[in-house]
Amino acid sequence: MEYLSPYSEPSYGFCKTPFGECCMAFSNEGICALTFPENRQSALDDLERRFQGIDFVQNDEKVAQLIQQIFDKGKNPAIHLMGTPFQLSVWQALQKIPKGQTSTYALIAEAIGRPKAVRAVGTAIGANPIAYIIPCHRVIRTDGGLGGFRWGLECKKAILEWEKK
């Protein structure tokens, strides 16, 4: 369970992106979730599981504004990251991978000073709550295979191709 301050006015919404509809949750501190769910109910279930006891208010208009900043203007709004120290170190390393490039699970493990923690790095990447902005899609296997992606390999391929343009 992740924690949001009662003063953070938690909100969520849905919006179309170049990769299908997304669900975004945010607080005054920034974006705390960005997903590409199969459907809206699965997105709401994920928010309820991840942020137990938090009453989110739907705000599709604000989500549309944030999505426009991200995908049309190439800006990354503030994020409100919550995770274990290990997860945070992995997610920070992901943010250093340049747009249009990829890295490997092993290289991320090395970058955080834990070269033998490749599997744990993979688990942390899979738990990334903020898709695209924290670019877990840029991580591939050492053999060049795409590896996994929480929202499907077709979505991962589409994002990687889009970033190369």
What CATH code is assigned to 85-164?
A: 1.10.10.10
CA-wise closest residue to 134 among 62, 30, 15: 30
**Among 22, 13, 23, 1, residue whose Cα is nearest residue 127:** 1
From first to last of its 165 residues, the chain has per-residue pLDDT tens of: 444 444 457 999 999 999 999 999 998 889 999 999 999 999 999 999 989 888 899 999 999 999 999 999 889 899 998 899 999 999 999 999 999 999 999 999 999 999 999 999 999 999 999 999 999 999 999 999 998 898 899 999 999 999 988
* 160 close to 102: Cβ distance less than 8 angstroms: yes
CA–CA separation, 62 and 35 (whole Å): 16
Q: What are the residue numbers of the active site?
A: 136
Segments making up each domain of the chain, as ranges = 11-72, 85-164
